[in-house]
């Protein structure tokens, strides 16, 4: 049942109190009912105010995980969600045809702004908020005890996954972290049911349809666009998968890594097998000229601590003409994992007041991977500040993939040229090293693509009922095999809940944005390198120091969500179409090399 708009209720009440006939009741309603424009203005102001309160409560909870902070975060989240649900329901009943283009867009945003819409029943709404908080707490407080005396957090376990080359140790850590997720299963199942009820009240078939409606196109068309992008880049991934599986077979033996099967997930240097860069030295041929440097070692050699790593990332953006981070950023961000309390270590960027109270929350490790991640997170902050003068409902990226892509554009610029300019290396490696550099990049960027796609493929099917609680885990591994060619290293059953071992599932963060970001970043990067006047192999371009590229990028960032994403894309690239061609151009030399290596080794690709 659709909730009746609050202004209609007040008009009916007035008609009853005055015992008016139908005609006078209509006249009274017309006199009192706010206009669609007034409704939008009221909703925007109200949501802006409560969003700041909710963000601060969530920040405190993520940095101090206790029962009290959980209760506060849950309550403010509930209040925000209930308001957003009410406004979404009311917006769905408004005829906005006479509104300005901007207000029509705001009305549409109000209708689809929620991630997990709550049912109108207050008890159910409160329960949904509690479930979200409990799921986040299970993840944030999760520990796996290697021994009874040594219990490790997810970042500590991830360090083992990145550095260990002992298959049995890796298998133990891999399985141990997934034990953290087992208690999430009944909570997640209940959350899905309640959120679906909320989505249906807003006119959507389920939460998945609501998520897919946020891309300036019919929800049914969006998966087709994703399929088109994936099919563009899939041959590159398949060549990389084939090569990596062959090299891991050489390292561990084909009894551990069968050459016609999916790759065991624990051997790829990452807790979720989503990025494979940590195994570069295992899969790069001994005679392949490598990058010529170890970024982790360079950071240590030059005395980079956690704060200096962040300061250097800030310098990248200021070199492009962006303002420095505000002083509050340095005072209020979390940079180092505290030893005296539980925190959510997953790296994230925050906008607390819809203005300039921007921060990052991250348990920084002094290594090359986190150096890149810091650049990425500051990209979010730069975007948040760029659109701060937009109306509240437009304070977001053109689509959620844009937000993730911006920081990654800067990460692509962490090239040897950039490292030389900031004094981390003395000389830029010769062109012969480019295949090594591209392989290292592909192990992160290309390897991620199917993982970025499959998580929401799984969730969309859960929301629609195609995947039920009885086969959560089996369906998860079916999709991982289908898209990634990855398999679990130990037997999995429905007593497990492996999706919950990935932060974004218990946190209810849509994940398709990351797939889109990995496509978009190369489009942005190529266009901005052209704007910077760069000439040469695209993979050697760095935007460091280019005010021209910074100005063009900022033009798009300032637009926020005020325009459909194709227009924002065109502001940088000149095209309104997302495409994988820029990524294929970037990795073209590597793709050719991978095909040659696979052919020379007589590998049978596929799984």
134: closest CA among 182, 187, 69?
Answer: 187
In this prediction, residue 407 carries a pLDDT of 86
514 is a catalytic site residue:
yes
Catalytic residue among 380, 403, 518, 539: 380
What local confidence, expressed as pLDDT, does residue 24 receive?
38
At residue 189, the pLDDT reads 98
Integer Cα distance of 222 and 402 in angstroms: 16
**In this predicted structure, what is the pLDDT of residue 293?**
81
Residue 9 CB: number of other CB atoms within 10 A?
11
Contact 430, 256 (CB under 8 A): no
Examine the residue annotation and report whether 266 is marked as an active-site residue of this protein. Answer: no
The reported pLDDT for the residue numbered 431 is 79
Rounded to a whole number, what is the distance in angstroms from the first to the last CA of the chain?
A: 48
Is it the case that residue 100 has pLDDT exceeding 60? yes
At residue 607, the 3 state secondary structure works out as coil
Q: Residue 33 — very low, low, confident or very high, per pLDDT cuts 50/70/90? A: low
| The two three-digit tokens of residue 191, written as one number | 């959350």
Neighbour-count burial for 321-340, b at 16+ CB within 10 Å, e otherwise: ebeebbeebeebbbbebeee
pLDDT of amino acid 424: 95
Return the SS3 of 152.
Answer: strand
Query: Which pLDDT value is given to residue 16?
Result: 30
Residue 18 has pLDDT above 70, yes or no: no
Q: Supply 397's token pair.
A: 């990226």
For residue 374, pLDDT beyond 80: yes
The predicted pLDDT at position 379 comes to 95
Check whether 8 has a pLDDT greater than 60. Answer: no
What pTM was computed for the model?
0.86
Mean pLDDT, residues 398-418 taken together:
91
- Tokens 């790296």, residue? 347
pLDDT of residue 107 exceeding 80, the answer is yes
Residue 99 CA to residue 104 CA, distance in Å, equals: 6
Choose, from 383, 503, 514, 544, the residue flagged as catalytic: 514
Mean pLDDT of the 558-586 span: 97
What does the DSSP 8-state code read for residue 147?
E
In this prediction, what percent of the chain has a pLDDT beyond 70?
94
Nearest-angstrom CA–CA distance, 18 and 138: 55
Chain centroid to CA 225: how far?
A: 19
177 closest CA partner among 63, 66, 266: 266
Among 10-24, 116-130, 394-408, name the one with the lowest average pLDDT.
10-24
137-148 mean pLDDT: 92
State pLDDT tens for residues 344-367: 888 999 999 988 999 999 999 999
Dist CA 442 CA 275 (whole Å): 9
Q: What percent of the chain has pLDDT over 90?
A: 79
pLDDT digit string (tens) for 386-398?
Answer: 999 999 999 999 9
Identify the active-site residue in 92, 347, 386, 398. Answer: 347
Query: In the numeric block, which tokens belong to residue 40?
Result: 């939008």
Higher pLDDT, 301 or 29: 301
Catalytic residue list contains 539: no
Tokens of 467: 């995947």
- Give the C-alpha separation, 602 to 426, whole Å: 40
User: What confidence category does residue 10 fall into, taking pLDDT thresholds of 50, 70 and 90?
Assistant: very low
- Identify the pLDDT of residue 568: 97
Is the pLDDT at 210 greater than 90? The verdict is yes
Cα separation, 582 vs 403, whole angstroms: 18
DSSP string, 252-317: H-TTTS-TTSPEEGGGSSSTTSS--GGGHHHHS-TTS---SS-HHHHHHHTT--HHHHHHHHHHHH
Give the model confidence (pLDDT) of 292-340 as tens digits: 788 999 999 999 999 999 999 999 999 999 999 999 999 999 999 998 8
Kindly tell me if the per-residue pLDDT of 29 is higher than 50: no
When pLDDT is averaged across residues 99-128 and rounded to a whole number, the result is 92
Q: What is the mean pLDDT of residues 49-58?
A: 92
Q: Mean pLDDT across the stretch 395-421?
A: 92
504 is catalytic: yes
Distance CA 37, CA 187 (A): 39
pLDDT tens per residue across span 221-254: 999 999 999 999 999 999 999 999 999 999 999 9
Distances (CA, A) of 112 to 103, 198, 212, 268: 14, 12, 10, 37
The C-alpha atoms of residue 255 and residue 249 are separated, in whole angstroms, by 8
Q: How far apart are CA 422 and CA 584, in angstroms?
A: 29
CA–CA gap between residue 505 and residue 511 (Å, rounded):
9
Strand partners, 144: 152
- pLDDT of 522 over the 50 cut: yes
Average pLDDT, the chain: 91
pLDDT at 551: 97
- pLDDT value at position 5? 30
Check if 302 is active-site: no
Extract the tokens encoding 307. 């704060």
Q: Which of 58, 314, 369, 404 is catalytic?
A: 404
Q: Determine the pLDDT at residue 85.
A: 85
Instruction: Please enumerate in sequence order all residues whose Cβ is within 8 A of that of 171, keeping only pairs 6 or more positions apart, or say none.
Output: 266, 489, 490
């Amino acid at each position: 049942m659709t909730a009746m708009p609050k202004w209609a209720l007040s008009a009916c009440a007035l008609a009853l109190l005055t015992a008016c006939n139908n005609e006078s009741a209509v006249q009274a309603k017309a006199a009192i009912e706010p206009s669609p424009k007034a409704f939008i203005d009221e909703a925007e102001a109200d949501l802006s105010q409560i969003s700041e309160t909710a963000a601060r409560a969530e920040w405190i909870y993520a940095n101090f995980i206790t029962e009290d902070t959980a209760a506060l975060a849950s309550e403010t989240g509930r209040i925000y969600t209930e308001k957003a649900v009410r406004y979404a329901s009311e917006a769905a009943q408004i005829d906005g045809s006479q509104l300005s283009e901007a207000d029509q867009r705001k009305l549409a945003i109000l209708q689809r702004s929620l991630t997990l819409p709550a049912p109108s029943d207050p008890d159910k709404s409160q329960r949904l908020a509690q479930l979200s908080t409990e799921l986040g707490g299970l993840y944030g407080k999760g520990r796996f005890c290697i021994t009874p005396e040594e219990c490790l957090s997810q970042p500590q376990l991830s360090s083992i996954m990145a550095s260990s080359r002992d298959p049995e140790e890796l298998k133990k850590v891999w399985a141990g972290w997934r034990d953290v997720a087992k208690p999430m299963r009944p909570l997640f199942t209940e959350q899905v049911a309640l959120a679906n009820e909320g989505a249906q009240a807003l006119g959507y078939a389920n939460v998945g349809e609501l998520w897919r409606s946020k891309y300036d196109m019919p929800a049914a068309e969006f998966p087709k666009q994703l399929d088109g992008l994936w099919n563009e880049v899939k041959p590159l991934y398949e060549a990389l998968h084939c090569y990596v599986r062959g090299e891991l077979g050489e390292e561990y033996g084909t009894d551990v890594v069968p050459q016609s099967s999916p790759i065991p997930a624990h051997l790829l240097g990452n807790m979720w097998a989503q990025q494979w860069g940590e195994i570069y030295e295992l899969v790069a041929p001994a005679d392949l000229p490598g990058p010529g440097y170890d970024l982790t070692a360079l950071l240590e050699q030059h005395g980079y601590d956690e704060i200096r790593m962040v300061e250097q990332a800030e310098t990248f953006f200021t070199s492009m003409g962006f303002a420095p981070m505000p002083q509050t950023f340095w005072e209020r961000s979390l940079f180092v994992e505290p030893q005296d309390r539980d925190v959510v270590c997953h790296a994230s960027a925050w906008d607390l007041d819809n203005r300039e109270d921007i921060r990052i929350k991250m348990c920084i490790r002094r290594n090359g991977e986190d150096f890149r991640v810091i650049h990425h997170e500051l990209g979010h902050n730069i975007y948040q500040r760029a659109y701060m003068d937009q109306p509240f409902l437009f304070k977001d990226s053109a689509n959620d993939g844009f937000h993730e892509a911006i920081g990654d554009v800067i990460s692509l610029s962490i090239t040897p040229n950039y490292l030389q300019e900031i004094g981390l290396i003395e000389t830029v490696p010769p062109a012969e090293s480019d295949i090594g550099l591209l392989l290292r990049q592909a192990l992160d960027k290309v390897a991620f693509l199917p993982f970025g796609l499959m998580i929401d493929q799984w969730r969309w099917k859960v929301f629609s009922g195609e995947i039920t609680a009885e086969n959560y885990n089996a369906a998860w591994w079916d999709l991982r095999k289908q898209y990634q060619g990855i398999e679990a290293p130990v037997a999995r059953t429905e007593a497990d809940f492996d999706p919950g071992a990935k932060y974004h599932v218990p946190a209810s963060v849509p994940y398709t944005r990351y797939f889109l970001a990995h496509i978009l970043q190369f489009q942005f990067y190529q266009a901005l390198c052209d704007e910077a006047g760069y000439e040469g192999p695209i993979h050697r371009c760095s935007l460091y120091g280019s005010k021209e590229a910074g100005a063009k990028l900022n033009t798009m960032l300032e637009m926020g969500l005020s325009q459909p994403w194709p227009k924002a894309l065109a502001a940088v690239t000149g095209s309104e179409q997302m495409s994988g061609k820029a990524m294929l151009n970037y990795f073209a030399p590597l793709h050719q090399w991978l095909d040659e290596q696979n052919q020379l080794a007589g590998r049978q690709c596929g799984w």
